[in-house]
Structure 1
Amino acid sequence: MNPSLIKTFLILLFASYYTNISAQSKNVLWYDKPADFFEESLVLGNGKMGATVFGGANSDKIYLNDATLWSGEPVNTKMNPEAYKNIPEIREALKNENYKLAEELNKKIQGKNSESYAPLGTLEINNAEKGKAVNYHRELDISNAISKVSYEMAGIKYTREYFVSAPDQIMAIKLTADQKGALNFDINLKSLLQSNVEVRNNILVMTGSAPIHENAGYAVLPKYLEIKDRGTKFTTLVQIKKTDGQITSSRETLTLKDATEAIIYVSVATSFNGFDKNPATEGPDDVNIALQNLNKAFAKPFDKLKENHIADYQKFYNRVTLDLGKTTAPDLQTDERLLRYADGKEDKNLEILYFNYGRYLLISSSRTLGVPANLQGIWNPYLNPPWSSNYTMNINLEENYWLAENTNLSEMHLPLLSFIKNLSVTGKVTAKTFYGVNEGWAAAHNSDIWAMTNPVGQFGKEEPMWACWPIAGAWLSTHIWEHYIFTQDEAYLRKEGYPLMKGAAEFCLGWLVTDKNGNLITSPSTSPENQYKLSDGFVGATLYGGTADLAMIRECFDKTIKASKVLNIDADFRKKLETALAKLYPYQIGKKGNLQEWYFDWEDNDPKHRHQSQLFGLFPGDHITPLKTPDLAEASRKTLEIKGDETTGWSKGWRINLWARLWDGNRAYKMFRELLRYVDPDGKKTEKPRRGGGTYPNLFDAHPPFQIDGNFGGAAAVAEMLVQSNENEIRLLPALPDAWEQGSVKGICARGGFELEIIWNNKKPEKVIVSSKKGGKTTLIFGDKKQDITLKKDEKTEINF
């Protein structure tokens, strides 16, 4: 055969293979132009430092964040010391069915609003060459957490490579030109916060401080920014390492001329030193921390920094691999893939990419103890971010962590678990002063880095429907049990977890009262952010015995009982919980066949409301199941039917999990596809704007605006469709949609400390490998087939169904 023909054949073969690989990437987001909007940018993070990369050719903009930079200071837990004295009057109004009065009185049980997550600053790289970029390519490879930009201008090829390293606590940006001396750029820093920028010893230095009061107007109250010895301080340092060329500087700018290759190092630090320490007077030296990290990283070769970064990141990311079978989707950039997918076309690897991206975002935003991922993860460019970019604890904070354990990222759960410990400290005071409960701890609707636990509402100015809700502790305590049951870490449960669970349960015991029939209920109660409508036309939120309260308390009591049995402690307290659990007001099925949200069968003010808190027992709880409680499961299904499928991003993420728990894979998949519906960036002007819940061009979840919880909830739902488990059994492919008739998953986790690999075909498992972290027994279930297995520590077994 002609050698040139062989060569041509091999080139075509390689091109075809490469096109196939890149065509439906499971790990790469890519675009052929720079980002114009935040919702088109590519984000990087090491769990503390966040970077939002726009990738402009003439001018590149990078938003910088630090997970620990918030407004405010340690919370005054005794802000409303006699609020609890209003509780008897509210209960009396409710007893008399005077809901209008109860609604007004409930406003007296309010405190301050939360603080805000603050934007650290913006790094700009401005190129001296101004022209039209051609052959532009921008990407984020989530298999190694590296972003790249490449383009040509005036015949010169330029490349940039960006990553944010956890082991070296640094952001590194490598810039190259393929012609000698063609790199010419300057760098500047700016911040929306009070700050100062200057160049010292060829290091660009920005120092500043966050405001000390909540979001309610600090943008127009500059006097707050000038109070000394108050607020969190921050430092950003930028230094250039060059191979050639010349570095010069002005007062606020670093400049590199006539270079071929350069590396920019970015180091950030704050004076935050814990939720209960004044960051201005008790904080660490942020300048010194930033400088130490900069100097250590600067001394290392770029390739070594990159190698350290990739090794550290991949030890988490590579634990799970997912394949959903053959795909014929064409080679398109990510935003076009979303648009095509929204038209109903197949793109299985986009579905895998979305799942992988959820795991990427959690690794990148949740590695700082006591500081969990907030409403925007760690990526916020706004002085006044939506909902203060805070911790919203009536669903959103918890949804951020639904994928932590089952997608094998248990370490990323630790920032939330340690945050719960902080909440238990402030929450003890909140329980007494706001609710008159002297045992245990309570937390409410919102929190912030200072572990604020009081009900919000600006001391009576806000609506009880969202401001007055004291059950966050009960919900959060279930995360502690989840961490234990997945990891089997009994030492953690004994030392830290159980005391927190017990404290949450103690508050609930003290908060419950008896209704006229002898059932235990909560009073006052609300159902997160929802309202009822009475026959006389009154619309309100305050009632007694809300279903969501009792569902969360059921789950809290059940898991605390189990934890005390595992540890073989607290038999007397366990008995109290068991007695109370049996007396809780039971679930009610309404006239429409739905699971009632309210104590009575009242109408919803908004029947399609985004919250579905009354279904907590189905998911994320597990005391409602199609097998154990078929009537309640069917009522849950009816509730979801009434609400419909059209809702916001995070809510859609929750509903997909709920449908998965009802073992309806096709309905879950329908909504999963809708979650990936393309949404235009918030500021983009188009003739026919695509708005509503869905996914932005950079795969960020659209509430809208951007909230990261939908990304996490959607990724968790994929795992929930493939594997469901409890302490005693593992259910394989319980909600597998027809669209995923063949595939495989490796590294997914199940309760009991098990890890799974499943290969399936024709919607049936062909091979299942189960390994045990600590040793134990479980029952594998697929359809009507069951198999008991017992494994020793680190033992694995293969099962063929």
Structure 2
Amino acid sequence: MSHLLWFHAPAADWFEALPLGNGHLGAKVYGGVADERIALNLDDVWSGDGPRSLEVADGPAVLADVRRSLLEDGDQLAATERTRSLQGPLVESYQPLADLVIRSGGTATAYRRTLDLSTGVVGVDYTVDGTRFRRETFVSAPDQVLAWTITADRPAAVSLGLCLESLHPVSVEVAEGTYGVVGRAPSDLTIEYRDRPDPIRYEEGRGIGFGVALRVVAQGGDVTTSPAGVAVRGADQLTVLVAAASTFAGWKVPPGRDLSAAFAKATATLDAVDVDKLRARHVEDHASLYDRASLELGPAVNLPTDERVRAVAAGGNDPDLVALAFNLGRYLLIASSRPGTQAANLQGIWNQDRRPMWASDWTNNINTQMNYWLADLTGLSECFDPLTDLLEGLAASGAETARILYDAPGWVSHHNADIWRATWPVGDGGDDPVWSMCATCGVWLTAHLMEHYRFGLDADFLRERAYPVIAGAAEFVLAMLVDDGEQLQFIPSTAPEHHFVLPSGEKASVDLTSTYDIWLIRELFANLIEAEGVLGLSSSLAERAAAARDRLPAIRVTPDGRLHEWPTDWQPSEPQHRHQSHLYGLYPGAEIDPLRTPEWAAAARTSLELRTDGAVNGGWTAAWLVALWARLFEPSRAVAAIQDYLSRLVSDNLMHRDGDIFQIDANLGMTGCIAELLLQSHTDVIRILPALPPEWPDGSFHGLRARGGLTFDITWRNSTLTQAAVHATHPGTHQIALPTETRTITLTPGQYLHLVTPT
């Protein structure tokens, strides 16, 4: 049952509701019978009224002060505090849209609620007064609508009422059988961790507007549309269609002011739907992505998902639940990131609050990146497109930020971004530099562009979209490097979100080049040089990058065998800190490898052991640990992190939950990191089952991808590889490390080669 979530009761709250989406329109389905609620989101409905200005008048002078404090005075605390003067406005917040509310009568029995990952359809089956009903909900990408259907096993049994509700001020629209609402998101909003007497502010004519349109197609019965909603009486069956549109017109300009235009666009979307073909078109589109890859582990378990989660929390081993979580991650990326949509944010496209945690923004010191670790690896290259769009916007916006703050060429992006493409350190002087002052977040993001090329080998993508962004980041970094007389330092530098403790007992976070930044800059320069090699270029920029790379601070190991986190082996403020940034070179980077760099790998292992000793992990941290242990060939430690995650950090529907916090990076990241146990291709040798957990003696996967345009199908029984095949999209010669031998193979485009055949 690794493609089906199912339950005997409706969702108790928003966290447990089942997710649907097409990248643009998102929905959480509760599955109630007498009172159903489907929470709606639209990916481009955010607070704010257009791009803001960065009002920092003396950025270069502040930067000079920071560098002087570090290089001449050795005063990390003064440097940390001085960087507050570089902070710009806080980010705006992703918003809920509206709720579709459906009310009907009766008490349900024989209830079953399902989410079929393979079709993207939520089903609710139940009996009321002897009549069997089935409801289905899906969100179509081809037709850009939410569809809700209900059928019954006797005629004239469907009677119900529908309406739309919103946390935002809305007005009702009724015209020619279409019911809907129009409204605006807040024009200004204070992020949830800041206090203000009026944190949510609506202003007439300002803010992103939206229109939501609803239409009912019924067989039999009577349908009445009024300002109160839609009433259906005595129908045999019906289909409810919902479409939505916003007045967002791009990150560079204020949103449109005409709410009627948004409603008209939503109505036109409804007009274009062929109801008879709607479900088939949706399933075909969804399956074209979902069916490319899957994971099966152990025997199928046919129990309700919530019961299985509780069993694992009680100490049980359920490999099939791990496979279900893996496949759910792929499903969620399909639902939250499609070509032409916004990139998946901190909550994907699902959010119930006007002031969500951390603004439900793009948090770019790991969380945004983690959302996309699985994309190419699990065959969802199209779902990567919105991340490229985001980076291109950040590069354009970040060029102005680099000029204003640092008098530097190229572009920069710091810790947080929103739909208006904020790229500066946020906080207006009031946020802690430990997270705000992270000037290499854009550098990390560019690594994804090069990785995307390595998986798909699309030279046009590399030339037209990836290379300009990578080159711009390199220009910025080169301009920021300072010669301290011995080596080149990137200043200011931090280890994301982690303070160090000074001898005085005070905490600071800004220093000379952190190990995290060394890894990122080394990788950036290497990627630039590799890209130019592929494209037949030979620029002075790449020559300067190569020379600078050789003069960066060395990766250092402490006397007790750990990797340095900062240039001085400061006391960490949190020895079990959630970020493992100094281990970037192990994962998602590729410089640390137990077989190629054993000393670095040993230091990474020691660092990781100390970091995790007694730690209570959060969701995305658990996912990262899985990949780090996988790269160190420590499968049982990776499985322990997965078991802990499934025991404490998910709702009954396997969506991440830590108290009242939901972050989709945990779900998406866990899928990408589980794959590292089964297939690795970050070195010049592709490793099959490199860290197979003994807890998963039987299993298979199909469609996992390796760099170089390769796709693998693998089966194992009793922890022994029994079947292996590879498909190539491009010509090439590859080294393949099987569990018992290493082979060199040469493949042609379209070739499907059996490496191990069943006996």
Counterpart pick for 1:208 among 177, 183, 188: 183
Deviations 1:232-269 (A, max 9, x none): 11110111111111112332221111122111111111
| Stretch deviating more after TM superposition (160-169 or 203-212) | 203-212
1:370 touches 1:419 (CA, 8 Å); kept in 2? no
- Counterpart mapping for 1:142-541 below 5 A: 142-216=117-191, 221=198, 224-228=201-205, 230-280=206-256, 285-297=261-273, 299-301=274-276, 304-326=277-299, 329=301, 331-369=302-340, 371-437=342-408, 439-457=409-427, 459-516=428-485, 518-541=486-509
* Distance in 2 separating the partners of 1:203 and 1:783: 61
Query: How far has the Cα of 1:149 moved from its partner?
Result: 0.7
Q: Is the 8 A contact 1:521 1:550 kept in 2?
A: no
2:22 pairs with 1:64: no
Q: Report whether the alignment pairs 1:732 with 2:688.
A: yes
The one-letter amino acid paired with 1:213 is D
Q: So what's the TM-score if we normalise by structure 1?
A: 0.91
How many angstroms apart in 2 are the aligned matches of 1:757 and 1:282? 52
TM-score relative to the length of structure 2: 0.96
- The CA deviation at 1:171 is 0.8
Q: Does structure 1 residue 633 correspond to structure 2 residue 601?
A: yes
Relative to structure 1, is the Cα distance of residues 323 and 567 closer, same or farther in structure 2, using a 3 angstrom cutoff? same
Is residue 85–residue 436 contact of structure 1 (8 Å, CA) maintained in 2?
no
CA shift for structure 1 position 212: 2.3
CA separation in 2, counterparts of 1:409 and 1:565?
A: 26
Whether the aligned pair in 1 keeps the contact of 2:251 and 2:421 (CA below 8 Å) is: yes
Gaps of 5+ in 2: none
- Partners of 1:271 and 1:279 within 8 A in 2: yes
Separation in 2 of the partners of 1:397 and 1:220? 31
Q: Contact 2:211–2:260 at 8 Å: present in 1 too?
A: no
Distance 1:521 1:702, change over 3 A: farther
Matches of 2:260 and 2:539, distance apart in 1? 44
Q: Deviations over 1:89-141 (max 9, x none)?
A: 111111211222212211111001111111001110011x2x43211111111
**Which is further off, 269-278 or 706-715?**
269-278
CA contact (8 A) 2:29 2:38 kept: yes
Equivalent position SS for 1:186: strand
- Aligned Cα RMSD in Å? 1.9
Residue 491 of structure 1 aligns with an amino acid whose one-letter code is D
1:618-697 superposed matches below 5 A: 618-644=586-612, 646-678=616-648, 694-697=649-652
Cα distance in 1, alignment partners of residues 189 and 392 from structure 2:
23
Equivalent pair of 2:493/2:512 in contact (CA under 8 Å): yes
* Distance in structure 2 (CA, Å) of the matches to 1:627 and 1:72: 50
- Which position in structure 1 is the counterpart of 2:749? 793
Name the SS of the counterpart of 1:500 in structure 2. Answer: helix
Find the residue that maps to 1:285 and give its secondary structure. helix
Deviates more, 1:283-292 or 1:478-487: 283-292
Report whether the alignment pairs 1:699 with 2:654.
yes
Q: Which runs of 5+ in 1 are unaligned?
A: 1-24, 679-693
Distance 2:536 2:417 in 1: 33
Q: In 1, distance between residues paired with 2:59 and 2:258? A: 31
For residue 350 of structure 1, report the CA deviation from its aligned partner.
1.0
Task: Judge conservation of contact 1:145–1:310 (CA < 8 Å) in 2.
Answer: yes
Q: Structure 1 residues 102 and 697, CA, compared in 2 at 3 Å: closer, same or farther?
A: same
Per the alignment, residue 23 of structure 2 pairs with: 47
Range moving further from structure 2, 724-733 or 447-456: 724-733
Deviation at 1:184, TM superposition (A): 1.4
Q: In the alignment, is the contact (CA less than 8 A) between 2:26 and 2:350 conserved in 1?
A: yes
Matched, 1:138 2:113: yes
Question: Could you tell me which residue of structure 2 aligns to residue 86 of structure 1?
Answer: 62
In structure 2, the CA distance between the partners of 1:77 and 1:570, relative to structure 1 (3 Å rule), is farther
Q: Give the aligned residue type for 1:728.
A: D
| 1:324, distance to aligned residue in structure 2 (A) | 2.2
Partner Cα distance (1:258, 1:456) in 2: 56
**Deviation, structure 1 residue 603:** 0.8
Task: Give 3-state SS (helix, strand or coil) of 1:565's partner.
Answer: helix
Please tell me the residue identity of whatever aligns with 2:20: L
Which moved further from structure 2: 659-668 or 216-225? 216-225
Q: Spell out, residue by residue over 1:20-78, the C-alpha distance to the aligned partner (whole angstroms, 9 max, x if none).
A: xxxxx111111111112112110100111001101111110010001111112432344
CA contact (8 A) 1:730 1:779 kept: yes
Equivalent residue, structure 1, for 2:699:
743
User: Out of 652, 665, 677, which is 1:721 matched to?
Assistant: 677
Residue 198 to residue 139, structure 1, CA distance change in 2 (3 Å):
same
Contact kept in structure 2, 1:171 and 1:266, CA below 8 Å: yes
User: In structure 2, how many angstroms separate the alpha carbons of the residues matched to 1:26 and 1:800?
Assistant: 25
- Distance (Å, rounded) in 2 between the aligned partners of 1:647 and 1:637: 17
Aligned equivalent of 1:684: none
1:140-186 Cα offsets, whole Å, 9 max, x none, are 11110000112122222222111100001111111123232222111
Distance 1:491 1:367 in 2: 20
2:723 paired residue among 762, 767, 782:
767
CA distance in 2, matches of 1:198, 1:292: 14
SS in 2 for 1:249: strand
Map of 1:583 onto structure 2 = 551
AA aligned to 2:6 is W
Shift of 1:288: 2.5
Measure how far apart 1:789 and its partner are.
Answer: 1.2
Give secondary structure in 1 for the equivalent of 2:122. Answer: strand
Flag the 1:722–1:423 CA change in 2: closer, same or farther, 3 A. same
1:562 aligns with 2:530: yes
Q: Judge which range, 101-110 or 564-573, deviates more.
A: 564-573
SS in structure 2 opposite 1:429? Answer: helix
Contact 2:481/2:490, CA 8 A, preserved across alignment: yes
Q: In 1, distance between residues paired with 2:260 and 2:689?
A: 50
Question: What is the aligned residue count?
Answer: 751
Q: Does the CA-based 8 Å contact 2:495-2:509 persist in structure 1?
A: yes
* Structure 1 residues 134 and 665: alpha-carbon distance in aligned structure 2, compared to 1, 3 A threshold: same
Is the 1:144–1:314 Cα contact (8 Å) retained in structure 2?
yes
The question of whether the paired residues in 2 share the 8 Å contact of 1:198 and 1:253 is answered with no
**Contact 2:402/2:410 (8 A) holds in 1:** yes
Query: Residue in 2 aligned with 1:12?
Result: none
- Partner residue, 1:681: none
Tell me, what secondary structure is at the counterpart of 1:738?
coil
Identity %: 36
* Alignment-mate amino acid for residue 641 of structure 2: M
* Correspondence list, 1:121-132, <5 A: 121-127=98-104, 129=105, 131-132=106-107
| Alignment partner, residue 17 of structure 1 | none
User: Match of 1:738, as an amino acid?
Assistant: P
**Contact 2:188-2:200 at 8 Å conserved across structures:** no
Residues 250/148 of structure 1: CA separation in 2 closer, same or farther (3 Å cut): same
Report how far residue 514 of structure 1 moved. Answer: 2.4
